[in-house]
Amino acid sequence: MPDATSKPAFNRKNPLLAKRLTSRLLTEGCDAKDTWHLEISLCGSALDFTPGDSLAVLPQNDPALVDEIISTLGFSGEEPVPTPAKEEALLRKALTENYVITTPDKKLLKAITEKAGSTDWQDLMESDRKAELSDYLWGREVIDLLHAHPDVQFQPEEFVGLLKKLNVRLYSVASSLASRPDEVHLTVAVVEYESFGRQRQGVCSSWLAERIDVDTPIPCFITPGKGFRLPQPDEDTPIIMCGPGTGIAPFRAFMQERQATGALGNAWLFFGEIHENTCHFYKEEWETYLDDGTLNKLTTAWSRDQEEKIYIQHKMLEHGAEFWSWIEKGAIFYVCGDAQRMAPDVDKALHSIIEEHGSKSGEEAAAYVKEMLSEKRYRRDVY
């Protein structure tokens, strides 16, 4: 471990330029999604992290989309433009590395409206119509706005001034330095969807999964996970981990850490994905941990292997009595993954278990959960 004084301060302005070692599709044979396991070398960097932290990655935009924007605007790509950091770069490089060329800023909408002399989007820009504007822009990208008014012309510098700065994306670390020194592993689901007749991809997930190779520098740094931490290995506090989909990432790091440190408390993992035969991420690793006692119980939910959806919260409820007995023994309950749908439903299941198996009213169960939160026995890392 590097000591605190020798640790280089990698951050947004001074990221580590790491290189990928390997990548492996975790959803081989599944048509519905592409989720990748990535291993990235930290060799020689002394970059330090703890399971529960995230790796912040500064991605690059899709070069095909960059080219389409450049040609739509009649540029060559070689025009000098300022970057958000007020440096100078050629337009193609700036659009690839520095600016958001997917999600449009309201400034761009406004500028196109003014230049086109069009009233199409004028109402949407009223200050009291934020929700309508956001609905209109949902699924639309910069290129769609340009195609809507093909006659509008910009100067290169003017155009980049209407774009937002490209920002980092966070990925939960899926490995432990105690087990895999000099490496950081990630579990990355490629964001893909169709809107307005075009196939779209998330910037960073598609870059990491599909457009980098072993020679591509990956600008990155660690952001600490606020309180998403394992108990000390010599404590016998049980842990329950709930990580469907890419939410599994921090728990793989937890398992590696627990095995390396010989942690004492019991551990129960809930994992959910769409199909058991194509999406059982890290299956062999869980089997090893179950064999050597690093993991005591694995409960899985496969959402699309039968007619009706089965999710992890259904499995929590099915095992409610045992779940409650772990909670009563002081278990820490960790939840990681989708914030929109999964986390609220898992929260409801937790309340139901406390009500049913703890013989409490709705208000008492809510107070119990509040106490778990304040005692940091219920920790969430959801996105």
Ligand X SMILES: Cc1cc2nc3c(=O)[nH]c(=O)nc-3n(C[C@H](O)[C@H](O)[C@H](O)COP(=O)(O)OP(=O)(O)OC[C@H]3O[C@@H](n4cnc5c(N)ncnc54)[C@H](O)[C@@H]3O)c2cc1C
Ligand Y SMILES: NC(=O)c1ccc[n+]([C@@H]2O[C@H](COP(=O)([O-])OP(=O)(O)OC[C@H]3O[C@@H](n4cnc5c(N)ncnc54)[C@H](OP(=O)(O)O)[C@@H]3O)[C@@H](O)[C@H]2O)c1
Q: Give the binding site for ligand X (CB under 6 A).
A: 54, 102-103, 138-139, 169-172, 187-189, 191, 193, 195, 202-205, 246, 249, 381, 383
Which of ligand X, ligand Y, none interacts with 265 (beta carbon under 5 to 8 A by kind)? none
**DSSP, res 229:** -
Least Å from the CB of residue 338 to ligand Y: 4
312 is a contact residue toward ligand Y (CB under 6 A): yes
Nearer to ligand X, 185 or 315 (CB): 185
Give the binding range for ligand Y (CB under 6 A) out of 6-14, 58-66, 176-184, 187-195.
187-195
Q: Where are the alpha helices (DSSP H) in the chain?
A: 63-72, 91-97, 106-116, 130-137, 142-148, 156-160, 203-206, 249-261, 283-292, 312-318, 320-328, 342-357, 362-374
Please identify the residue of the shown chain whose CB is closest to the bound ligand Y: 245
48 is a contact residue toward ligand Y (CB under 6 A): no
Instruction: Give the CA-trace dihedral at 241, 247, 249, 250, to 10 degrees.
Output: -50
* Contact yes or no for 381/370 (Cβ under 8 A): no
Pairing relationship of beta strands 297-302 and 332-337 according to DSSP bridges = unpaired
Which of ligand X, ligand Y, none interacts with 138 (beta carbon under 5 to 8 A by kind)? ligand X
3-state helix, strand, coil in the chain (%, to 5): 35, 20, 45
Half-sphere exposure of residue 254: CA atoms within 13 angstroms, side-chain side:
31
Among residues 70, 189, 253, 316, the one that binds ligand Y under rule CB under 6 A: 189
106 is a contact residue toward ligand Y (CB under 6 A): no
Q: What's the token pair of residue 121?
A: 């989007």
Among residues 67, 64, 69, which one has the least CA distance to residue 145?
A: 69
Least Å from the CB of residue 105 to ligand Y: 22
Which of ligand Y, ligand X, none interacts with 195 (beta carbon under 5 to 8 A by kind)? ligand X
| Residues of the shown chain interacting with ligand Y in the complex, contacts defined by CB under 6 A | 33, 35, 189, 191-193, 244-247, 272-274, 303-304, 309, 311-313, 337-338, 340-342, 345
